[in-house]
């Protein structure tokens, strides 16, 4: 993998100089969530579960795009596990999907999840404060993230299904995202 000129995503989330707390533009948030879903869907498509999805394990590249790294905890299931879809831990990558929702809390709030408050409550609060979403987009994002947190792993969406939420934001996201990047990088 190439060297990340901007380091870990966690540094960007908490970098108050670039973006004051909670001030990420909506299009940038959506782009990051899409980058994460695409990376997770890619590895799951290869039969790999990362087992360590967190903001620290996404690197920031030019145009503020994210790439997944640190595969030290990854696991390729055995053929017996692939054949048996009744695994107690759920389908391939269910733990990654749950972790993705926790990273989403960090992206939306610029804070780590609060261990004294339920994750569902934090998602509801965080999604309700994202500016620039119409009600349909807000409800779709909320439903997706709550589904990712389902305590029953077999009920969580796949990463590939999670990517579908990005279609609700096109085509304006791409143009606005490009303009934001030009402002931040230049």
User: Could you give all domains of the chain from N- to C-terminal order, each with its CATH number?
Assistant: 9-185 (1.10.510.10)
pLDDT value, residue 170? 54
CA–CA distance, 126 with 128 (Å, rounded to integer): 5
For the stretch 86-144, pLDDT in tens is 344 556 789 999 999 999 998 888 888 998 999 999 999 999 988 878 888 888 889 98
Number of H helices, E strands in the chain: 8, 2
Average pLDDT taken over every residue of the chain:
77
Binned at pLDDT 50, 70 and 90, residue 24 comes out as: confident
Strand partners for 174: none
Integer-rounded Cα radius of gyration of the chain: 16
Binned at pLDDT 50, 70 and 90, residue 166 comes out as: low
Question: What is the pTM for the complete model shown?
Answer: 0.79
Contacts of 132 (CB under 8 A, 6+ apart): 25, 26, 27
Binned at pLDDT 50, 70 and 90, residue 16 comes out as: low
């Amino acid at each position: 993998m190439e060297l990340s000129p901007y380091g870990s995503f966690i540094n960007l989330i908490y970098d108050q100089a670039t973006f004051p707390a909670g001030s990420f533009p909506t299009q940038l948030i959506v782009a990051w969530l899409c980058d994460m879903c695409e990376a997770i869907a890619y590895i799951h498509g290869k039969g790999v579960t990362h087992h360590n999805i967190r903001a620290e394990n996404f690197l920031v590249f030019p145009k503020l795009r994210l790439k997944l790294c640190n595969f030290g905890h990854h696991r390729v299931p055995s053929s017996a596990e692939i054949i048996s879809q009744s695994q107690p831990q759920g389908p391939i990558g269910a733990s990654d999907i749950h972790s993705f929702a926790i990273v989403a809390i960090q992206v939306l709030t610029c804070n780590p999840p609060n261990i004294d408050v339920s994750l569902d409550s934090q998602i509801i609060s965080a999604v309700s404060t994202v500016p620039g979403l119409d009600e349909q987009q807000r409800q779709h994002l909320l439903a997706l993230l709550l589904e990712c947190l389902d305590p029953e792993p077999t009920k969580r969406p796949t990463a590939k299904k999670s990517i579908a939420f990005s279609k609700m934001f096109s085509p304006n996201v791409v143009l606005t995202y490009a303009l934001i990047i030009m402002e931040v990088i230049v």
